[in-house]
Structure 1
Amino acid sequence: MEILNKFGRFMRLIVRLKGGTDAEGTIKNITKNVKLRGVNVWMMVCSATLTCIGLDVNSTAVIIGGMLISPLMSPILGVGLGVAIQDRRLLINALKSFGLATFLSLLTGFLYFFISPLGDATTEINARVTPTFLDVGVAFFGGVAGIVAGSRRDKTNAIPGVAIATALMPPICVAGFGLAKMSSTVFLGAFYLYFINSFFISLATYLISVMLRLPKREQIDDEQYTNVKRFIIGFAIIVTIPSALIFYDVLDKLRFDKGVKNFVSTEVRTDNRRPIQTEVVDSTDPKTLKIYTVGLAVSDEEKRNLEDKLSKYGIGGLQLKLVQLNVSPDEFERLTSDVQTNLSNKLNLLQNVEDDQKKTIEVLKAQIVDIKDNSQPDKSFLNDVKWLFPEIADVIWQEATTDTPEHTSNQFKTLAVAFKEGVEPTTKNLIESRIVRLAQSRFADMRFNVVEKTELPRQEVEKIVSQEQINANTNQPQQP
């Protein structure tokens, strides 16, 4: 028991914060730097501009430079300190300065990315649109380090590290990028990251200031103090929930990617087969896991066994597609890195070509139908035949055939005719011969034949043209 007591006293001595605390100096220093005026405004605009340039050119060093000169940390510390020591004036000034700093940074980011000739979403930009629960931890412990370092009589060099770790400036500049590109997803994600960073730095400042028992400027009763604590706790929980949900989605995606990787390396890879590229196609339903392999081909039975093992790795429900390349593993090993890169690019190109071919086939099918419908002679000829010969009930073109081999260059067109009841055979023969002569006079480059049908299928292409067209052509044809 005595050992535990000694260990407890030893730990309290190690983690003790009060020793070396400059309470009045801390309050005075933060209060003095809270107001955003003059030089601080210029530093804020320069910091935002540098950060925007770093984000635009994907330069981490430039982004860090922009964060180091940012005066944004002081108003955020002032908010937490103002609540902790119950200084209403400090709290109001800190909130005003924080709002002005946010507006200036957002405006600078918007203007920069609006006129930037680059303006693409770089890796640094994309890294700040999906805040997670881990960002809450970064902001909180960064705030703890900031207020602890700022409260010492002997100042340390921790403040620059805090500015880099908490990364306040990049998220608000990315929010400006989202506004400039009219992307609500980028704007909301980046602004939410900026907000949780600011809030949890202030929360850490509040908690450490309470622990240090910094002198209060005003006294409030216990009921008001309890309400303030409840509000802070409730608001912190509400702010944290979205980041926890996003963090869960990130973990779920990481588990999925890990399952795919383990499946490919354990089940697909063998001594005689090597997977060289894996991709998940989200556009299909269900999603497709496409694996490109070299070496021994996968049999149908082996593929079925692989599909049954997908659920074992937490990726059940995926459709498995294996693409076999005609290259042995040894040959693939001998390929240079440039060739491998070109091969991967060609695989992607082939996939795009395959998709384009499918679309082209559908278009060509539709065009073939149109060409087939329009490849027959003038369809108005059918209406003329029915107008000239009232004895005919219906007439259509049949499929074209070719003549004997020695006349394959001449195409035969067959006209199927259905006569009305009561028409004499001699009259039918006379009408058929007249139709042939009429067709040959109109279409000199084709040969024609007329056959009699008792019943004819009615197709859309043989519908009678409108009455206006018939009337317009009434005086055109003449009986031969």
Structure 2
Amino acid sequence: MVCLILNQLKAFFDLRGDTASIQEITERINAGVRFRGTNLSVLILAIFIASIGLNMNSTAVIIGAMLISPLMGSILGIGYGLARYDSAYIRSGAGNLFAQVLISVAASTLYFCLTPIDAPSSALLARTSPTIWDVLIAVFGGLAGIIGVTRKEGGNVIPGVAIATALMPPLCTAGYGIATGVTAYTVGALYLFFINSFFICLTAFIVLKIIDIPSKIARDSVEFSRQKRYLLTFAILVTLPSCFFAYQSVQENLENAQAKSYIEENFKAPPRLAISYTLDNEKKMLTVFTVAGIAEDDLAALTEKLHEKKYLRPFRLEVFSAETTEEREKMEAMINQRLSEVEKRAIPSVQEQQTVTALKSAREESEKQGAYILDWNREARIVFPQISRIAVGSVQAPAGTGDKSAALSETQIAFIYLQSDMDEASRARLTEWISDKAKNRVEVHFLPEVPPAEAKKGL
């Protein structure tokens, strides 16, 4: 029974059934390897299209460039040469691929030297840190590609493989790194291109061996065994760095997810309401910007809760507010320092770009609150002597509709700290006065002002 099932499975996945003739396969490979005339012209056009797409962060344009790129042909040619153990064919394919890479990088470097838009887009950044998933995509894409080439009817497999493996964008990203003087961009992008090229070549070799492409050496020869060992060893060496990058990526995603959960649990209700937060995975620091100040004892309790999260145990917690002039100045100094550190880094990742956005948002909020706090505290305390101080802030949240893509609405919030009780009528008048001052509806919260000594006793 087991043998019958295995035979059925073997028949289902048999690649020899609709294999094209050896002559037809060879002609297709030769057409792809040929690097002159049409292929050369199309390559140069594809380079500029991909560079523009990466520069403008346009996915549709990048896909268009990948579809017309002729880079796949030379890579499959090297795999074909390996399968036939034909050193002359391998040299020809490798030489053509090397020339294509040089032309691609040179043309993209020229474009990025001339373009006025020099900020790295997310599409560019995505090609600088390859992971094990890029290896898997190259393997599966390479398998699909060579299977398509060796069929009687080629079909539309190759265009799909060209999109999936994305050979052109890494070369354009390398050109961007050269144009901007960021070596890390160039190295990361070329490593991604090498991963894709090597594993497409390796899978082509494997499939061509499965369909018994004629070879200059026998399968049971010493030369063939040596070739397999070299390819396996090289595959492991190529994969190792991507495994490390994948581990880093997974770790950061887990840390970011738990940080978001921690903020939602501890900084989403008055008086501890967060304006924004940043997570520095490298320095293991979670920075929260709040509307109102946080007492030291309260900060210690929040730190304990932070360390209850498995992936946030190594992190330190720091909290800044714009409640007083001194705190605003401290926040401003910290934000400027962090922004300067991010700008100096070789590769500003997507997460670091989000950090920059959060820091700038916190700074703008601090500047806006400064004017409110100064005026409101001075005027309101004259009319309402029960007031100890006023803290002001704003938060952004979905507009309340079911559409998650809808624009965020901003809600202004004021915390009124009372040193003595205030009746409901006075509270209503004060709320109306604050909304009138802000020229907008303000969500007002009344809180008792607890002296530091009493706060410590309570805790």
State TM-score, norm by structure 2.
0.67
Give the count of matched residue pairs.
334
Deviation by residue 1:295-339 (Cα, 9 ceiling, x = unmatched):
8x755443322211222212234332334578xxxxxxxxxxxxx
1:7 aligns with 2:5: yes
Shift of 1:235: 0.7
CA contact (8 A) 2:285 2:316 kept: yes
Residue in structure 2 matching 1:17, options 15, 18, 35: 15
Residue of structure 1 in register with 2:446 after alignment: none
CA contact (8 A) 1:136 1:196 kept: yes
* Superposition map of 1:30-179 within 5 A: 30-179=29-178
Secondary structure of 2:116's counterpart equals: coil
How far apart in 1 are the matches of 2:251 and 2:367? 29
1:309 aligns with 2:305: yes
1:203 aligns with 2:202: yes
CA contact (8 A) 1:130 1:189 kept: yes
Secondary structure of 1:19's counterpart equals: coil
Moved more, 38-47 or 274-283: 274-283
Secondary structure of 1:277's counterpart equals: strand
Corresponding letter in the other structure for 1:214: I
Secondary structure of 1:308's counterpart equals: helix
Kindly tell me: are residues 305 and 43 of structure 1, through their superposed partners in 2, closer, same or farther at Cα, counting changes over 3 Å? same
1:347 aligns with 2:365: no
Secondary structure of 1:309's counterpart equals: helix
Residue in structure 2 matching 1:290, options 284, 287, 290: 287
Shift of 1:37: 1.2
Unmatched 5+ stretches in structure 1: 327-341, 355-480
* Superposition map of 1:162-241 within 5 A: 162-217=161-216, 222-241=221-240
State TM-score, norm by structure 1.
0.64
CA contact (8 A) 1:35 1:93 kept: no
Corresponding letter in the other structure for 2:231: I
Shift of 1:164: 0.4
Shift of 1:27: 2.1
Corresponding letter in the other structure for 2:95: K
How far apart in 1 are the matches of 2:361 and 2:27? 65
Secondary structure of 2:27's counterpart equals: helix
Kindly tell me: are residues 37 and 256 of structure 1, through their superposed partners in 2, closer, same or farther at Cα, counting changes over 3 Å? same
How far apart in 2 are the matches of 1:280 and 1:246? 19
How far apart in 2 are the matches of 1:270 and 1:34? 64
Shift of 1:258: 1.9
Residue of structure 1 in register with 2:395 after alignment: none
Shift of 1:78: 0.6
How far apart in 2 are the matches of 1:246 and 1:40? 34
Kindly tell me: are residues 218 and 11 of structure 1, through their superposed partners in 2, closer, same or farther at Cα, counting changes over 3 Å? closer
Kindly tell me: are residues 90 and 290 of structure 1, through their superposed partners in 2, closer, same or farther at Cα, counting changes over 3 Å? same
Kindly tell me: are residues 43 and 352 of structure 1, through their superposed partners in 2, closer, same or farther at Cα, counting changes over 3 Å? farther
How far apart in 1 are the matches of 2:108 and 2:315? 42
Shift of 1:346: 5.1
Secondary structure of 1:154's counterpart equals: coil
Shift of 1:112: 1.0
CA contact (8 A) 1:52 1:170 kept: yes
Residue of structure 1 in register with 2:25 after alignment: 26
Corresponding letter in the other structure for 2:316: Q
Secondary structure of 1:32's counterpart equals: helix
Shift of 1:352: 9.2
Deviation by residue 1:111-170 (Cα, 9 ceiling, x = unmatched):
111122223211111111111111111111110000001111022111111110010000
Shift of 1:269: 3.8
CA contact (8 A) 1:23 1:214 kept: no
How far apart in 1 are the matches of 2:93 and 2:21? 19
Secondary structure of 2:276's counterpart equals: strand
Corresponding letter in the other structure for 1:307: T
Kindly tell me: are residues 217 and 43 of structure 1, through their superposed partners in 2, closer, same or farther at Cα, counting changes over 3 Å? farther
How far apart in 2 are the matches of 1:158 and 1:352? 56
Shift of 1:31: 2.0
CA contact (8 A) 1:47 1:66 kept: yes
Moved more, 310-319 or 343-352: 343-352
Residue of structure 1 in register with 2:343 after alignment: none
How far apart in 1 are the matches of 2:245 and 2:281? 20
User: Identity over the aligned pairs, expressed in percent?
Assistant: 32
Kindly tell me: are residues 270 and 21 of structure 1, through their superposed partners in 2, closer, same or farther at Cα, counting changes over 3 Å? same
Secondary structure of 1:291's counterpart equals: strand
CA contact (8 A) 2:259 2:279 kept: no
Kindly tell me: are residues 319 and 16 of structure 1, through their superposed partners in 2, closer, same or farther at Cα, counting changes over 3 Å? same
How far apart in 1 are the matches of 2:219 and 2:246? 38
How far apart in 2 are the matches of 1:213 and 1:343? 58
How far apart in 2 are the matches of 1:308 and 1:292? 18
How far apart in 2 are the matches of 1:32 and 1:218? 25
Kindly tell me: are residues 242 and 57 of structure 1, through their superposed partners in 2, closer, same or farther at Cα, counting changes over 3 Å? same
Kindly tell me: are residues 39 and 290 of structure 1, through their superposed partners in 2, closer, same or farther at Cα, counting changes over 3 Å? same
Kindly tell me: are residues 311 and 23 of structure 1, through their superposed partners in 2, closer, same or farther at Cα, counting changes over 3 Å? farther
Unmatched 5+ stretches in structure 2: 324-356, 370-459
Secondary structure of 1:275's counterpart equals: strand
How far apart in 2 are the matches of 1:264 and 1:223? 62
Residue of structure 2 in register with 1:275 after alignment: 274
* Superposition map of 1:259-408 within 5 A: 259-270=258-269, 274-280=273-279, 287-293=284-290, 299-313=295-309, 314-323=311-320, 345=360, 347-349=362-364
Kindly tell me: are residues 250 and 287 of structure 1, through their superposed partners in 2, closer, same or farther at Cα, counting changes over 3 Å? closer
Kindly tell me: are residues 325 and 118 of structure 1, through their superposed partners in 2, closer, same or farther at Cα, counting changes over 3 Å? closer
